[in-house]
Amino acid sequence: MSQVGLSGLGLYVPAHRVPVREIGQAWGAGGRGEKAVCGPDEDVVTMGVAAAEAALAAANRRPEEVDMLYFCTTSSPYVEQTCAALVAEVLGLRPEVVVQDLGGSTRCGTGGLIACVQGLQAGGGKVGLVVVADNRPAAPGSALERTLGAGAAALVVEAERPAAVIEGWACYGRFFPDRWRATGEAFVRGDYDPRFVRRHGYTEHLARAVETLAERVGDGAGDFRRYFFPLADERLPGETAGRLGIPRERVATDTFPRFGDLGSASALLQLAFAGGEPGDRVVLAGYGSGLADALALRFVHSLPVRPTPEGVDEGARRLSYAEYLRVQGLLATEGDYPLAVPPGSQTFWRGRGEILRLEAARCDRCGYVNFPPSTRTICIRCRHTGLSRVRLARTGRIHSFCINYYMPPGFESPLPYIVVDLDGGGRYQGMGTEFAGVRPEVGMPVELVLRRISRERGQSTYGYKVRPRLTAREG
């Protein structure tokens, strides 16, 4: 096989964390560790975008260079509507790029990676982007409520300068219903008999995939330095290691007690946190519904990862159980306050450049940056009609703000509203996010992040909000 491999990895873990004991106490139980959960304005699209942008930065690749995109999730906001095309739109990929929405089970992360490698090897392009995100809902009071978490990872895949070469892969799959969520159902179900499912579902299929992989790349199953298995619960790695005859400590497990079961993104986030030294050979695996993938990676040099995993807890906030139920949307409200114009209407289509990519129109004559460009076709300063598209900076400082105290459902309340002086000039104005416990101040460093701003008639609408800048993540 040619030397296709990973050249950059982006990760995203939400700032909202729930101590498992906090959940357990509501139901008369205990619990260990924490899980990460989406904030009220986050979903797999916003997380995936953040991870994808970070991956491209890590790999030093521009969106225009991407030839294929795989968006992989089991918790899309839609049964029918693409998320891949929306992510492509936000990133600014070329319209002729092949984009695919993958799902079906939590195996789809590694499944998307394999498909991407196959696509590149078949001559479909030079650079691929695999974006994996999950935000799986659990029923209150269920065992899964204590484990299902949210997070995203993205990989830039290419043959030109991989940091970790993919030496081979193997799949092993037979249909095995262990966890599922039917169309129209609100929560993931499963684990009818946990011991049976662990042994004959997860462990059996994953182990066979690893054994097959080992044969293919000419090794014993136990010969790898590290194993990145999906962490669906804390017992699984041990059982699988035993079945394969590998030392338990080689199976990376630390993301589970911190963030919970991250579904299709689980093993990729483990890879992000553990990394590898030049020469290391590791196994990256995925599993869901009886389908298992195992890929062998060999590190040429250390894999660029953004943001730095050490900074992932910066700005993290622990939620009470009641707050958790609210942000999960499990407390019935009257519904989001309507948008000024209906979602999907002409205003959103005409304005997609500014709404999704913060595009502006710079005057060719006086240099003034007009925003938003769909409503500014003449320079507002000098009236010149020659304007060129540019993108606003994503970082800046607070110029002024206010805090709204009476907001209806669908808004955070109190809601900070921020006017930002952008780095390099110009301003942005928009809703604040993740300011709980933080008092905005004139001059405070902030950044613009894509978040869901509304869900109306089933259609999610996204836009940029203003968040306190997390500098520890920048390394």
- Summarize as ranges the residues that interact with another protein (CB under 8 A): 337-341, 347-348, 351, 355, 371-372, 380, 399-408, 411, 414-415, 417, 419, 426-431, 442, 453-454, 461, 463-464
Q: How far is the CB of 415 from another protein (least distance, A)?
A: 5
Q: How far is the CB of 349 from another protein (least distance, A)?
A: 12
The 8-class DSSP code of residue 392 comes to -
Q: How far is the CB of 80 from another protein (least distance, A)?
A: 24
Q: Long-range pairs for 420-426 at CB < 8 Å and ≥24 separation?
A: 420/396, 420/446, 420/448, 420/466, 421/396, 421/397, 422/392, 422/393, 422/395, 422/396, 423/393, 423/395, 423/396, 424/393, 425/369, 426/360, 426/369, 426/371, 426/392, 426/393
**Residue 255, helix vs strand vs coil:** helix
Q: Residue 287 or residue 462: which is nearer to another protein going by CB?
A: 462
Output Rg (C-alpha) for the chain, integer angstroms: 23
Q: Residue 98 or residue 339: which is nearer to another protein going by CB?
A: 339
Q: How far is the CB of 402 from another protein (least distance, A)?
A: 3
Q: Residue 175 or residue 406: which is nearer to another protein going by CB?
A: 406
Q: How far is the CB of 261 from another protein (least distance, A)?
A: 33
Q: How far is the CB of 459 from another protein (least distance, A)?
A: 12
Q: How far is the CB of 465 from another protein (least distance, A)?
A: 9
Q: Residue 247 or residue 439: which is nearer to another protein going by CB?
A: 439
Phi then psi for residue 14, to 5 deg, are -60, 155
Q: Residue 112 or residue 373: which is nearer to another protein going by CB?
A: 373
Q: Which of 303, 267, 297, 302 is nearest to 282 (CA)?
A: 297
Q: How far is the CB of 133 from another protein (least distance, A)?
A: 22
Q: How many separate helices (H) and strands (E) can be counted in the chain? A: 12, 23
| N-terminal to C-terminal alpha carbon distance within the chain | 35
Q: Which of 179, 195, 145, 164 is nearest to 59 (CA)?
A: 164
Q: Residue 175 or residue 405: which is nearer to another protein going by CB?
A: 405
Q: Which of 150, 155, 148 is nearest to 42 (CA)?
A: 150
**CA dihedral sign of residues 210, 212, 216, 219:** positive
Q: Residue 97 or residue 466: which is nearer to another protein going by CB?
A: 466
| 15: amino acid identity, one letter | A
Alpha-carbon distance of 359 to 371, in angstroms, equals 8
| 377: amino acid identity, one letter | T
Q: Residue 97 or residue 420: which is nearer to another protein going by CB?
A: 420
Q: How far is the CB of 416 from another protein (least distance, A)?
A: 9
Alpha-carbon distance of 459 to 457, in angstroms, equals 6
Q: Residue 124 or residue 414: which is nearer to another protein going by CB?
A: 414
Residues 6+ apart with CB under 8 A from 351: 372, 374, 375
